[in-house]
Amino acid sequence: MIAGVDFNIRKAEKEDAPVMMELIYELAEFEKAPESVINTSRKIEIDGFGENPLFYALVAAFQDRVVGMSLCCFRYSTWKGKRLYLEDLIVTGNFRGRGIGKALFEETMKLAKIENCSGMNWQLLDWNTPAMDFYKKYGSEFESGWLNAQIDL
């Protein structure tokens, strides 16, 4: 087992793409939508670690193993200006409850501040009460009544 603080948070690197993809699948399983994942670790490599990265990611490493990640990008709110959009915050199963998610979330908030964002946005499933309890500690506001819409091209 791991100690509560025995991990470090660092910027994700190209070599992390395969394990990031594993974490993404793990979250998609939890969210009951594994069939929605069409991304691949090769695409993660190209999209995130080339000349014009499409996202910014942090990973949590325990010894040399990546056990969690936070992935975000910038978004523009017509109401509130520049925002950091947190796409995914994931800690792998048996590493939860150790403060890793907290550390990832707080480092992500730091990035939002450094980048002069007026705030952070993200989504969670309405039945995910552990996530809600986690985010409530930070004074997050939750809003229901919106539908997510999409078209695949």
Q: Does 59 bind a second copy (CB under 8 A)?
A: no
Q: Does 82 bind a second copy (CB under 8 A)?
A: yes
Q: Which is nearer to a second copy, 4 or 93 (CB)?
A: 93
Q: Does 121 bind a second copy (CB under 8 A)?
A: yes
Among 59, 67, 71, 100, binds a second copy (CB under 8 A): 71
Instruction: Give me the phi and psi of 79, to 5 degrees please.
Output: -85, -35
Coil, strand or helix: which one is 45?
helix
Distance between CA atoms of residues 10 and 12, nearest Å: 6
The distance of closest approach from Cβ of residue 3 to a second copy in the complex, given in angstroms and rounded to an integer, is 29
Instruction: Indicate if 25 belongs to the active site.
Output: no
The distance of closest approach from Cβ of residue 55 to a second copy in the complex, given in angstroms and rounded to an integer, is 4
Q: Determine the straight-line distance between the first and last CA of the chain, rounded to whole angstroms.
A: 45
Q: Does 1 bind a second copy (CB under 8 A)?
A: no
Distance between CA atoms of residues 5 and 14, nearest Å: 25
CA 62 → CA 5, 38, 90, 106, 133, distances in Å? Answer: 9, 28, 14, 18, 25
Side-chain half-sphere exposure of 149, counting CA atoms within 13 A: 2
Among 9, 22, 26, 28, binds a second copy (CB under 8 A): 28
Distance between CA atoms of residues 15 and 24, nearest Å: 15
The distance of closest approach from Cβ of residue 134 to a second copy in the complex, given in angstroms and rounded to an integer, is 10
* Residues making contact with a second copy (CB under 8 A): 24, 27-28, 33, 36-39, 43, 47-48, 54-55, 71, 73-83, 85, 87-88, 109, 112-113, 117-127, 132, 135, 138-153
Tell me which residues are annotated as active site: 135
